[in-house]
Amino acid sequence: MTWNQYARLARQLDELYRDDERQAAGQAAAREAAAAATGSLDARLRMQRQRLEQLSGLLQTPLPAPGPAGPAPVTDPAQALQLARQHADLADAAAAEAEQLAGQPRLLPGTSAPARNLLVYACCALAAVVAQYALLALSGVGHLGTVTILGWVCAGFPLLAWAGGYFAIGALGRPVVGDQSVQRSARLGFAVCFLAMPVAFCAFKVFTGLL
């Protein structure tokens, strides 16, 4: 073997040695990065679990039991971590949506407070109108006097309808989480309930007068 051949083989061995060192360093760096990413993901999942448990307690809904682990077709650690991050992102989005829904009232979520309150007071006024018509029907057979009828029509039924709507809004218009204050629109309810009764009374008199 000549000196030139020996020198060429020595250079090749040195290059192979350096390649092995670079590969080993790259693998070590990849392992360190994977370990750091795994630790970060584990901490994120623990925080996510605490968030879901807190939300479950507020909503009084039990957390679903984790399902059985399915097959794992992914063998690349980096790809597996990326897939785990994607699932964690989906879980965070679902939890944020649940928190947004929990921050809305149980009654007609997504509806503005004035529109929701108007509907509640209108329903209570309608119930009071039905009761008023029953009272007027009883008065037709002589069971009740005029003063009693006018008292219920002008004050009793409107006040009951307004109070029913007021307390219904307080009970069902309060969000589960977040700001617990409730906009009750008391003046709007007062106007709806106290105007509905006289209008219904006049309509009843007009209708019975036409018969």
Q: Which pLDDT tens digit goes with each residue over 135-191?
A: 877 776 456 677 877 888 888 899 999 999 999 998 888 877 767 788 888 999 999
CB 139 within 8 Å of CB 149: yes
Mean pLDDT of 119-130: 92
Task: Kindly give the interhelix angle for 113-139 and 157-172, rounded to the nearest 10 degrees.
Answer: 150
Q: What are phi and psi of 58, to 5 degrees?
A: -70, -40
pLDDT higher for 171 or 211? 171
- What beta strand segments (E) does 15-87 contain? none
Return the pLDDT at 162.
93
DSSP-based three-state secondary structure for 98: helix
Return the pLDDT at 166.
93
Per-domain residue ranges of the chain: 3-61+77-102, 113-210
How many other β-carbons are positioned within 10 Å of the β-carbon of residue 166?
A: 21
Looking at the DSSP bridge assignments, the partners of residue 175 are: 105
